[in-house]
Amino acid sequence: MQRFLAQRLLLLIPTLLLASILIFAIIDLAPGDPAQMMLGTDATPAEVAAERVRLGLDRPLPVRYVIWLGDVAHLNLGMSIVYDRPVTALVLEAFPNTLRLALSALVLSILIGFPTGILAALRQNRPTDYIVTSVASLGLAVPSFWLGILLILLFSVTLKWLPPSGVGDPSQGVLVSLEYLVMPVVTIAVSNLAVFSRFVRSSMIDVLSADFVRTARAKGLAEPVVVTRHALRNALIPVVTILGIQFGRLLGGAVLTEAVFSYPGIGRLVVTSILNRDYPVVQATLMLVVVIFLATNIVVDISYAYLDPRLSPGGAS
C-alpha cells in the first residue's frame, strides 16, 4: 500500500505541471487587459503601459509562468490585482465557507440518497422503485439556480423564515450560521442525492443478483444481514468513485449556487475574479480545484483497497 501511495503521489507532479501550464496559458489568452480595467477607460496609453510594467504583464509568457510557478512552489500566490491583497488571504477566507457548504451538502446527500437507492433496489420494479427513480430523475433535471431562486422566494420573501443570502456571523451562534446554510445546502444536495440514489440502486441490483448473495440467502441468513454484510459493501465499490467525484466538484465550488445566494465561497471568488480579469486569483483558485480533484482521486483509490482487499496492490489477482 505504501508503494502504491508513493507511486500515485509521484504521478501528481507531471499532472500538476501540465494543469498549471494549461491554466496559465488559457487565462493569458482571455480577452481584456487587467491594467486597463484597474485604471479605467480614462487612463492614457502611457499610464496603462506603466501599470503593465508594475504588474509584470510586459514580460513574455514563458518568463511570467516560470516566475509564477516558483512563487507557487514557495506557497506565494501573489497579490490580487483588484483587491490589492495577498491571494492566499482571499483563498483562505473563501475556502472554509465552500468546505462547510460542500460537507453539509454531501452528508445530506448521503443520508437521503443511499437509503433511497437501497430501498429502490430491494423493491425493484415495484411502486416504491418507480417513485424513487422518478423523484431522482426530477432532482437531476431541475437546474440548481432555478431551485435556489424558488427557495428564496418561498422561504425568504414569502414566509420570511430564512435569510436570502450571505454566510452569517459565527459569533452570533451556531444556529444563526445554520440559517444561512439551509437553502444553499438543499439546493446543492438535491442533484447530488439524486445521483447517489440512482448509482446505489443500480449497483445494489447488480450485487443482489450475484451468486454469493443467493448463497447467503440459501444458508438462511436474515435479509438485513444479507443486505448490509454481503451486498452493501460490494455495491459501494463503484459508488465510491461517484462519491469522490461529487465531493471534488463541490469543493471546487458550486458556482451557480454561490452566485444565487451571494455565498462567499471559492466558486463566487472565481467568477468575480474572471469578470475583473484578476489573473492571480483565478490562477490560484483553479490550481486549488485541480489539487482537490487529484487528492480526492487518491483517497478514492485507497478506499477501494479497504472495501475490497482483492483490489489492493498486494491483494489476490
> Could you tell me the three cell numbers for 228?
448490509
Mind listing the pLDDT tens digit for each residue in 239-262? Answer: 877 887 788 777 765 777 888 888
pLDDT (tens digit per residue) in 107-159? 999 999 999 999 999 888 899 999 999 999 998 888 888 898 999 999 999 98
Say yes or no: 109 and 196 in one domain. Answer: yes
Residue type, 14: P
Residue 317 belongs to a domain: no
51 and 158, same domain (yes or no): no
pTM more than 0.85: no
Which long-range contacts does 15-24 make (Cβ < 8 Å, 24+ apart)? 15/294, 16/287, 16/290, 16/291, 16/294, 19/287, 19/290, 20/65, 20/69, 20/72, 20/287, 21/65, 23/283, 23/286, 23/287, 23/290, 24/61, 24/64, 24/65, 24/68, 24/283
Cell 501550464 belongs to residue? 21
In a domain, 105, yes or no: yes
> How far from the centroid of its chain's Cα atoms is residue 31's Cα?
27
220 shares a domain with 164: yes
In a domain, 80, yes or no: no
Q: Identify any residues that bridge with 86 across adjacent strands, giving them in sequence order.
A: 79
Residues 174 and 98 in one domain: yes
224 and 193 in one domain? yes
- Residue 79: beta bridge partners? 86
| Same domain flag for 214 and 68 | no
pLDDT tens-digit series, residues 58-96: 788 888 888 888 888 888 888 887 788 888 899 888 888
Q: Would 6 be classed as within a structural domain?
A: no
Burial of 108 per CB tally in 10 Å (0-12, 13-18, 19+): middle
Identify whether residues 148 and 261 lie together within a single domain.
yes
Instruction: Please choose, from the candidates 287, 281, 285, 294, the residue with its C-alpha nearest in 3D space to the C-alpha of residue 248.
Output: 294
Residues 126 and 186 in one domain: yes
4 in a structural domain: no
Residues 43 and 101 in one domain: no
Domain identity same for 69 and 98: no
Domains of the chain: total: 2
Per residue in 162-221, pLDDT (tens digit) is 888 877 666 665 565 788 888 999 998 898 889 899 989 998 888 888 888 888 888 887
Do 262 and 222 lie in one domain? The reply is yes
More confident residue, 276 or 127: 127
Question: What is the rounded CA–CA span in Å between residue 105 and residue 181?
Answer: 9
Residue 46 counted as domain residue = yes
Q: Are residues 193 and 278 in the same domain?
A: yes
As given in the structure block, the three cell numbers for residue 103 are 460537507
Chain mean pLDDT for the chain: 82
The parent domain of residue 180 ranges over: 94-311
